[in-house]
Structure 1
């Protein structure tokens, strides 16, 4: 398997699609939650998306309820929350698991390709971010506490 482009995901509206629709784009993939201390990062993620989408960046948000039950809503509630509170316009997807035996294949691949601190694979908390190049290769992993503003320079350098 090369890159992540052959992996299927379900949009927040319930449509199945392959990540190949984003081939040729840089992706910032984030496990998100609506009731987390890091939830205000939605604002920064949206800013990155708006600032860099014309240069080839797409932010992809994957809601996850595995950390402190901080994403209890269904997809409609999540979409409404993100739109009303943060004016999110980047693609959101159906709720998934990022750790454990039911970990989504996308996150299995992301964790395998970009290990965390001390070589760990597990996602530690909401708002862990993965930067993927246009060929579908994971090039960077950022911790939850790393804000979108802190990675803006990395993204700007990659996008030219």
Structure 2
């Protein structure tokens, strides 16, 4: 295999694994943990998490998974590794779905949650939490599934490489 495709495919697999793991950790620990608390704790914690995640390292993984997967797919296609390329393109399609969910659902909800501040009235706080949670959590679960499936596709691409 061309050495040009291998680093991109490995980078894509690592970044995809990190993305899938991040979303999975929210599904199985962060959100259930926050659900055990009161409305103020939930809203304040999610506002802090949403602010903290906007950093260079997260951006590198979030956009890096997309770029590395696309580069790997293009290079695999160019060198004739058709089976590996197909699996890589499938991974890119799945990850694109996760990115679209993020940009169209999760990010706008994060911005609305931030704009809502921390209302003092219990009813307002509960409504803010419920409005956010009822859409954000299922969207995150879909991102987890898409990234996990993309990771599986990249693993399959690695396993089909001809040397």
TM range, smaller chain: under 0.3
Considering fraction of residues, name the structure with more helix. Answer: 2
Q: Which has the higher contact order (CA 8 A, sep 6+)?
A: 2
Larger radius of gyration: 2
TM-score (norm 1): 0.26
Please identify which structure carries the higher strand content.
1
